[in-house]
C-alpha cells in the first residue's frame, strides 16, 4: 500500500475508493462451515500460529473464484495459511 508496517483495512478502502471502485466499509469473516466469497473481493489470509515468518497476514484479490496474488506466491508459498475474511468490491 506504499508504506511501512501493517496494512489496515482502512488503507485498502481508501485506495479502492481513490481508484473509483465501490467497496464495503469493513472486512467480513469467512464462515468455516460454508465459506462464501463475493465474485470480486480482497481476501485476507493469516499464517498458522507459531510459524516463524515475520508477516502474519497477506492481502490478495479474488475474482470469480480465482485468486490473484500480488506477491506471486499463491498457493504454494502459503502452505497451511487460512483465508479468514474479505472486503467486498462492488460491481
CA distances from 31 to 6, 19, 71, 76, 83 (A): 24, 29, 25, 23, 10
| Phi then psi dihedrals of residue 78, to 5 deg | -130, 45
Encode pLDDT of 71-90 as tens digits: 898 989 888 899 999 999 99
What residues contact residue 25 under an 8 Å CB cut-off, 6+ apart?
13
Domain-wise residue ranges, the chain: 9-88
What residues contact residue 41 under an 8 Å CB cut-off, 6+ apart?
61, 62, 86, 87, 88, 89
What average pLDDT is seen over the chain? 89
Q: What is the pTM of this model?
A: 0.85
Amino acid at each position: 500500500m506504499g508504506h511501512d508496517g501493517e496494512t489496515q483495512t482502512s488503507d485498502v478502502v481508501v485506495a479502492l475508493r481513490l481508484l473509483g471502485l465501490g467497496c464495503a466499509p469493513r472486512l467480513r469473516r469467512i464462515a468455516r462451515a460454508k465459506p462464501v466469497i463475493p465474485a470480486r473481493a480482497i481476501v485476507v489470509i493469516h499464517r498458522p500460529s507459531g510459524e516463524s515468518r515475520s508477516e502474519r497476514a497477506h492481502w490478495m484479490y479474488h475474482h470469480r473464484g480465482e485468486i490473484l496474488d500480488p506477491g506471486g506466491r499463491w498457493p504454494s508459498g502459503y502452505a497451511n495459511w487460512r483465508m479468514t475474511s474479505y472486503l467486498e468490491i462492488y460491481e
